[in-house]
Chains A and B, each alone.
Chain A
Amino acid sequence: MKINILKSAIGCLTATGFLLSATASYAEDTLRIVSWGGAYQKGQSLGIFQPAAKAMGITVKEDTYGGISDVKLMVKSGADKFDIFSSGAGSCASGAAEGVLEKLDYSVIDVSDHLPGMYSDYCAGADIFSVVAAYNTDTYGEGNGPKTWADFYDVEKFPGTRAMRGKVDAQLETALLADGVPMDQVYTVLDSEEGIERALNKIRTIKPHIAVWWSSGAQHAQLMKDGEVDMTTGWNGRFDVAKEDGAKVAYDWQSGIMDWEGYGIPKGAKNKDLAMKYIAEMMKPEYMAEFAKYITYGPTNGKVYELGLMTDERARMMPSHPDNAKHQLTLSTEWYSKWRTIAAEMYTEMMTE
């Protein structure tokens, strides 16, 4: 009996040793990437992550994560959990400001075909999404719901319950646009505490009509699906997926606020050079076109449209399609890296009043 135990213990030890040496040699051509899960990461995985890994002959392991704070905490504590993360441009900018990201090497990563502004020193843009005002088509009728942010804030013309995000991101802009601030002035007005307060005051006017402060994309899609609220702010792709599932939901591009998502590398990532090459691979238009088949988030690489990699019908559903983009405000990552913390505290104060 004792001998058996000893034998299996030795067996285990050797196996562990073998595994350890195996991972060590693996690590050379293995990358770990994290994203947001759900319908979004499913599209990324099938359209981009795995095909790109296959093309390069490397292994890419996927996981989900909780956002840029995870990157920060990981880097600060010296842990090593992933090599690349998928992140909103604004979050990426705040991570860069905290000094926890590797600067991207654009001599390796080719962004010459990227749409203007769709990449930064620390974040290589991968898809474009929009925050829109979605409404219930049962309540208002298809095409007769709130089209602009002014409509969203007009409780007399469009009575009904609303939902807004429980975090400040892309919410203040809606208030200022509704307040009649021209698109190109929004971030100028917001560039002071008074400006932020002006936006918050506008939100205060509809606060009694806000039934829910949502906290995730899955939640705002569900709120529309269940008819819990009549309109909400939220990400266009989630509403399109909900609509395919039979939700009575529609939105108009006039209410869009465009934002983009990209890839970043945490400071000190062990496989930095390979990560850089992999990001370069993922920037190719064919992957972006494939991703957009799963969820309506448009490519950052202009070549996708030029090469006709997407059907015209599908292309028209993308936030970045020229016909849709022309109505929209583009989210300023600069503003967020400067003001996000202050604005977030003021926003919470408004919410708890």
Chain B
Amino acid sequence: MTIADMEKPNERGLQQVAANERLTFFGLTLPYLLMVTALIVVPVGWLFYLSFIGRDGSFSFENYERMIKSKAYIRIFLTTFKISILTTIICAAIGYPLAYFMSQLSRKWANICMIGVLIPFWTSLLVRTYAWLVLLQKKGLLNNMAIEMGIISEPIKLVHNTTGTLIGMVHIMLPFLILPLYANMRAIDKDTLKAASSLGATPTRAFWTVFFPLSLPGLLAGLLIVFVLCLGFYVTPAILGGGKVIMAAMKISSNIELYFSWGAASALGVVLLVVTGIILFIASKLVSMDQLGNR
């Protein structure tokens, strides 16, 4: 027996166990990995491939050249990101206080509030979008009511523009922010706040220095889900935007119709994917999720 063996008597055995465990876990994740490969890696690869196929079926950059030539494409991408960022910010501004409020309620009341959040979540997206159209249009419920009550004399333009699109999208996206955030806030130990108070922190200070940082992982997860889902939105901006808010998904669909080829549409998808990847990469560099979790 060497001295090393004396210090760590079972090292070899432990290594063996650890290796076996890794293999078991790998085996367990294998079905998922296969699924990801079949459902994500292969189709995305196919998308990349198709985007380099021109109208005559040969390899070409024409689908990308077109995007540089026409200013419409850059504007459409800017709109897509602008709308997605605005929706995310508004969702956070509305969703955070609500999730905080719910996390402070007793379980029973919190559950009742949760139903309020979930019922719209379970209603068809199309139905909700058209409902907003009925509410917001020129002679819609809101404008008519406001005029009758004498608040305004002329109808306000609430729909067929960015405003209407944002209202509709925030309404649809809000649960995606609240759900992870609420789960996170519920898990925060309330004693930490009491400890802060006992050390002399005002409620405001206790909130900002203790509660808020602890809620960040949930908030970031929510923001990420909302932002990414917004990028691919089609129905809501198409109906509530009135043709004034053209997002990438809408252009993808119109390109299929216009060029009769998958390539013209896939190139847009590729650009959207790459730009989103870059943005998320930069974001993850600025705020490291792990770091937040370990705080």
Contact = CB atoms under 8 A, between A and B. Distances in A.
Interface of A: 66-69, 72-73, 94, 98, 166-167, 211-215, 226-228, 340-341, 344-346, 348-349, 351-353
B139 A351 contact: no
Closest 6 CB pairs of A and B: A213-B243, A166-B243, A212-B242, A349-B72, A352-B75, A72-B260
Contacts of B252: none
A98 B79 contact: no
A333 B226 CA distance: 44
Contact of A228 (B71, B79, B137, B243): B137
Contact of B137 (A73, A226, A351): A226
Contacts of B260: 68-69, 72-73, 94, 98
B258 A226 contact: no
Contacts of A344: 254, 258
Contacts of B72: 345, 348-349, 351-352
Contacts of A346: 70
A227 B139 contact: yes
B238 A228 contact: no
Given A73-B256, A212-B242, A227-B138, 14 more contacts: A69-B260, A72-B260, A211-B160, A228-B137, A228-B139, A228-B160, A344-B254, A345-B72, A345-B258, A349-B70, A349-B72, A351-B243, A351-B244, A352-B79
A347 to B, nearest CB: 9
Given A212-B242, A215-B243, A227-B139, A352 B258 contact: no
A180 to B, nearest CB: 27
Contacts of B118: none
A345 B139 contact: no
B246 interface: yes
Contacts of A227: 138-139
A226 B141 CA distance: 12
B21 interface: no
Give the bracket for the number of chain B residues in contact with chain A. 20 to 34
A348 B246 contact: yes
Interface of B: 66, 70-72, 75-76, 79, 137-140, 157, 160, 238, 242-244, 246, 251, 254, 256-260
18 contacts: A67-B257, A69-B260, A72-B260, A167-B254, A212-B242, A215-B238, A215-B243, A226-B139, A227-B138, A227-B139, A228-B160, A344-B254, A345-B72, A345-B258, A346-B70, A348-B251, A351-B243, A352-B246
A94 B261 CA distance: 13
A214 B70 contact: no
Contact of A351 (B138, B238, B246, B259): B246
Contacts of A352: 71-72, 75-76, 79, 246
Contacts of B70: 345-346, 348-349
Nearest to B137: A228
A213 B242 contact: yes
A266 B258 CA distance: 18
Contacts of A345: 66, 70, 72, 258
Contact of B138 (A73, A166, A228, A341): A228
Given A213-B243, A213-B244, A349 B71 contact: yes
A73 B259 CA distance: 11
Nearest to A347: B72
B249 to A, nearest CB: 14
Given A226-B137, A227-B139, A352-B75, A211 B242 contact: yes
